[in-house]
Every structure is written in C-alpha cells, then in structure tokens.
A and B are shown apart, each in its own frame.
Chain A
Amino acid sequence: QKEVEQDPGPLSVPEGAIVSLNCTYSNSAFQYFMWYRQYSRKGPELLMYTYSSGNKEDGRFTAQVDKSSKYISLFIRDSQPSDSATYLCAMNNDYKLSFGAGTTVTVRA
C-alpha cells in the first residue's frame, strides 16, 4: 500500500466550476500537508501549506485536513482555464516529502 493515495483523474470541468481534489494517507506521523500545482514539464509550485486539522483559505483555494480520517482535500472555486494543470498532494513528518501520484485537471473555457 502506498503511503499517499491520490486519484489520478483526469478531471475535466467547465470554467467557473468548483474543482475538488482529494488524497488519503496511511502514515499517522505526517505533520505537514501541502498542495502543489505542476504545469507540463515544469517544477511543482507550492499552492497551500497546512499543519493542523481544519480549513485554510487563500483566495480561490481552500485546503482541508482531517487527521482523524487521514484525508486531505483541495477546493478551487471559480476555476479558470489557467488552472489546468496536475495537482500534487504532499506530506511530511521530518525531512522527506511523500507525494501522491497527481491529479490532472482540465478547465474547459
């Protein structure tokens, strides 16, 4: 079993829709949770960073962490074609990041 599970999609939504992305994990030692956005052939860009259960909002992005269920989510409101990318969840408990496989999202204009 992988430490971090993420549905690879692909996910296709119309412009303006809410995008919902999820990851589950098995290692209860994970303390920090991140979401990255990766455009094709580019490095991952940090979108959201949280370290406790609950919600964190930044503009159109909301990250949720439920440590009791070992489940994290990212919501993108009012999605735009420029949001089309691969979204990676990541988490760590020390020096090492463990990533999901990434979900590819396409926002249709």
Chain B
Amino acid sequence: DAGVTQSPTHLIKTRGQQVTLRCSPISGHKSVSWYQQVLGQGPQFIFQYYEKEERGRGNFPDRFSARQFPNYSSELNVNALLLGDSALYLCASSPVDTEAFFGQGTRLTVV
C-alpha cells in the first residue's frame, strides 16, 4: 500500500516568492493535515481538511493557505516567503480523528 506522498522533496525559494506543496493521502483516508517542523522542534499544526472542508487552523499568518480536492489530495500555499518559513513541511493523513500517518515531508529553504 502506498503511504502518504508529498512533492516536491526539496526546494529552494527566494524571499517574497510563493510556493505550493502537494500531498496525496493514504487511500481511503479523507482527512489531511499540514504541519511545519523547524529544526530541533516538534511539528506545529498548520491546517486540517476533512471532506474538502477546513476543520482547523493553527497559529499561522494568512500567508499560509490550503485546500483539499475531491480526490482528497491537498495543496499548501505560502505567499510572500520569509526566511523564517524555512522548515520541513509535513503532510499527515488520518482515517478519522485518531492516529495520523505522515509523509516524508518537503524541505523548504528560503534564501
């Protein structure tokens, strides 16, 4: 069975640019969440989507947005990138509000 897949694996962006990260959940999972992990810290919750509706949002600025598609895949968009947005961005899928399974992440470097 395929796990959670994220793309791209790595990318480098310049301050002020915009970035789109993509995630495909485990087949049958309708919930997708996004987390940001800064080096040396635990992941921080950004968004959760369930059945294409936003269920929750963490303490992140409006520069961060996301959406979920009819096939339950998801995109995370970040506008006006700052150096502090450099992090590992993780996508997790869940069958319901129970255990979450993570992808390998997208490592974003903002220069």
Interface residues of A (CB under 8 A from B): 4, 6, 8, 32, 34, 36, 41-46, 49, 51, 88, 90, 92, 94-102
Contact = CB atoms under 8 A, between A and B. Distances in A.
Contacts of A41: 88, 105, 107
A100 to B, nearest CB: 5
A43 B102 contact: yes
A36 B43 CA distance: 11
A44 B102 contact: yes
B99 interface: yes
A43 B103 contact: yes
Contacts of B88: 41, 43
B68 interface: no
A4 B41 CA distance: 12
Contacts of B55: 95
Interface string B95-111: 00111111111010000
Q: Is the interface of B mostly helix, strand, loop or mixed?
A: strand
B19 to A, nearest CB: 18
Interface of B: 4, 6, 31, 33, 35, 40-45, 48, 50, 55-56, 58, 88, 90, 92, 97-105, 107
Nearest to A89: B42
9 A-B pairs with the lowest CB-CB distances in the bound complex, closest first:
A99-B42, A43-B102, A49-B99, A95-B48, A43-B104, A43-B105, A96-B45, A44-B102, A95-B55
A51 B105 CA distance: 26
B14 to A, nearest CB: 22
A101 B50 contact: no
A104 to B, nearest CB: 9
